[in-house]
Structure 1
Amino acid sequence: MKTLSHTPNLDRRQFIKSVAFGTLALPFLFSNASCSRDENGGKKTSNTPLRMQSPWINDAEFIGYFIAMEKGFYKEASIDFEYLPGGPEIVADSVLLAKRSEIALTTPDVTINAIVKQNAPFKIIGAQYQKNPLGVVSLKENGINTPQDLIGKTLAVPPANHLTVKAFLKINEIPLEKVRVVPYQYDPTPLLNGEVDATLDFVTNVPYTIQERGGNPSSFLLYDFGFRIFNDTVVVRDEMLKEHRDLLTAWLLASRRGWEENFKDPGAYPPLFKDSYFSGTGRSIANEIFFNKAQRPLMENPKGIYAMSEEAIEANIQSLAAVGINATRNMFVNDLL
């Protein structure tokens, strides 16, 4: 969910556009032993087993879960938790639909599109990010600080986010033809070389990557200019919600404890996970610390992490409508916390 600062060919957002919920023969790769283990090192317990499919490889975006495992918060909640790392071969919604996990972290546009078009039996029970980290990333010298500044400019956009850009421009009353949209491969090099004026990417870590490479980055969130959707929504199957509400509440609260512990000092835990959860990502721990600090204001909620207010749910529904995705209120369940 980030830049190519770790590996040039790993970004799940390239794969969202090709999700086929009617086809379950996917390469479910859960072989990362350092991360797919449970908090008890793989030992069986009498606690209730619960698996969560992550949408991407391990980085600061998921550090709250790692902390909750290491601190024993899930065990205290009588949960035998197994964290399943993601990657480009894995679409979390499909893993959930195939019953290879009980929980999945997803993007609401993909999940709700699956509910509407494929009758996927899903419910959104929480939102890790109240504000989606997706934004316009540029260089300060380019002077792109608002949507209107994109008029007459070249914007590099990942294939999976074309509908998002159309909705964003529509919300801001900017004709699509006024912005030159070109393909983006999650590499800031064209931006640094002046080949494009801006890119669409995550503001939580791409600016740091640009800075590491000698650039002077600027960015703004799509959320702050009207495209108000969650990210890393917590999704379960209808049957799970019906039969195990208390278990899901316990999991949400244990996970929240992990995030609360993390945000006591966002610089404390990334170095501790350098040789375990963050091993092999190709990114510096300094980048992970930047990421961890940058994501905090996007996750915080007066009622606690994962809470979804009625206003925020309605904002998601309205924003998704601009992309042609017809979300309804009953797709969101906000009474578990």
Structure 2
Amino acid sequence: MPLLGRIAQAASPFAFQASWINDAEFTGYFVAADKGYYKEEGLDLTYLSGGPDVIPESTIIAGKADLTLTTPDTTLKAIAEQGAPFKIIGAQYQKNPIGIVSLAKNPIREPKDLVGKTLAVPPVNVISVEAMLKISGVDRGQVNIVPYAYDPTPLIKGEIDASLDFTTNVPFTIKQAGEEATSFLLYDFGFTIFNDTVVVTEDVLKAKRKEIVAFLKASRKGWEENLADPTFYPKTFAESWFKGTGRSIENEVFFNTAQKPLIESSNGIFSMTEEAIAANIEALAAVGIKANRSSFDTTLLEEI
């Protein structure tokens, strides 16, 4: 007797580790989850929030997640120096959003303006700043780099001249405090690396290739819908994804709008062109990270 209709197949469990707390940086994934795009692609997605105590690479090494987002400098350094079994399979940010933020009344518009100034930098990002200074021909010894704890208060009070931060977010916080900010990207001054690179282990890539492609496809659809009007979706997540973060929805709208040109690509969201990969490798070489093309796998994006 012939079967009537299709036998429903169980969705495949798939765990995604975000690189930070729930904010606009991940809006595309929230849209994809709420719209059912992961389910449509046969995935039972578990979304794991990040934060200051989460090391994304560690979660995939430990098997707590199948896929994560990372900064390419830390990932490629681990591959080059420790033989870590990672593959970068996509890039959320074509242009890294980290940059130098200063007050408009005391502006720092390019690397040479940092000479003789005090710049606050999170310890994890010092290597990136040193690369930008080196590429720009600025003597590292002429810039006073101090630790930064992700709080713009010292900048607002004039205790420092600039900070390294997400240019997509901190200018809003500064404006709320009654000051105007100005900023520039490290990317635009030679440190040409991606951010939120999509990373898996080699074992998971072999075992779950179909699921990874499904994740990329659903996530791209979510990001495309989100960025069509970056002011819309953050407002809808006030009582769900963004609840309890302590950040205003106006902040998330600002963030989502500011990140749009850094994420979008004529080749599709998550794309990694050969030119962009070469630029990443060259920029990291400036700080002694010997990355190579084999650490990047663009073939999954071709299957979307």
TM-score class normalised by the smaller sequence = over 0.9
CA distance in 2, matches of 1:178, 1:167: 14
Partner of 1:226: 190
Partner of 1:170: 134
Q: 1:137 aligns with which of 101, 113, 124?
A: 101
Contact 2:91-2:271 at 8 Å conserved across structures: yes
Q: 1:310 aligns with which of 262, 269, 274?
A: 274
Per-residue CA deviations over 1:255-314 (Å, capped at 9, x if unaligned) read 000001101211111111111110111110000000000000000111110010000001
Residues 1:289 and 2:253 are matched in the alignment: yes
- Once the two structures are superposed, the pairs formed by residues 239-318 of structure 1 within 5 Å of their partners are 239-318=203-282
| Counterpart residue type for residue 247 of structure 1 | E
Partner of 1:184: 148
Deviation of 1:143 (Å):
2.6
| Counterpart residue type for residue 216 of structure 1 | E
Partner of 2:5: none
Deviation of 1:168 (Å):
0.8
CA distance in 1, matches of 2:261, 2:243: 26
Deviation of 1:245 (Å):
2.4
Per-residue CA deviations over 1:68-113 (Å, capped at 9, x if unaligned) read 0110101111111111111122111000001111101111111112
Residues 1:202 and 2:166 are matched in the alignment: yes
| Counterpart residue type for residue 115 of structure 1 | I
Q: How well do the aligned residues superpose, as a CA RMSD in angstroms?
A: 1.1
Contact 2:129-2:186 at 8 Å conserved across structures: no
Deviation of 1:242 (Å):
2.2
Partner of 2:61: 97
**Rg larger in structure:** 2
- Once the two structures are superposed, the pairs formed by residues 116-155 of structure 1 within 5 Å of their partners are 116-155=80-119
Q: Which moved more, 1:203-212 or 1:259-268?
A: 259-268
| Counterpart residue type for residue 198 of structure 1 | A
CA distance in 2, matches of 1:90, 1:137: 25
Residues 1:236 and 2:236 are matched in the alignment: no
Per-residue CA deviations over 1:218-243 (Å, capped at 9, x if unaligned) read 00000011101111110011122223
CA distance in 1, matches of 2:219, 2:123: 32
CA distance in 2, matches of 1:181, 1:291: 26
CA distance in 1, matches of 2:211, 2:244: 33
Deviation of 1:118 (Å):
2.1
Q: How many residues align?
A: 293
Identity %: 58
Q: 2:78 aligns with which of 109, 114, 118?
A: 114
Q: 1:88 aligns with which of 52, 67, 74?
A: 52
| Counterpart residue type for residue 39 of structure 2 | K
Unaligned stretches of 5+ residues in structure 2: 1-8
Q: 1:57 aligns with which of 12, 21, 24?
A: 21
| Counterpart residue type for residue 140 of structure 2 | L
CA distance in 1, matches of 2:149, 2:213: 38
| Counterpart residue type for residue 294 of structure 1 | A
Deviation of 1:117 (Å):
2.2
SS at match of 1:263: helix
CA distance in 2, matches of 1:144, 1:88: 28
CA distance in 1, matches of 2:217, 2:93: 16
Deviation of 1:186 (Å):
1.5
Structure 1 stretches of 4+ with a deviation exceeding 6 A read none
SS at match of 2:87: strand
Partner of 1:33: none
| Counterpart residue type for residue 267 of structure 2 | K
Report the TM-score, using the length of structure 2 for normalisation.
0.94
Deviation of 1:179 (Å):
1.3
Report the TM-score, using the length of structure 1 for normalisation.
0.85
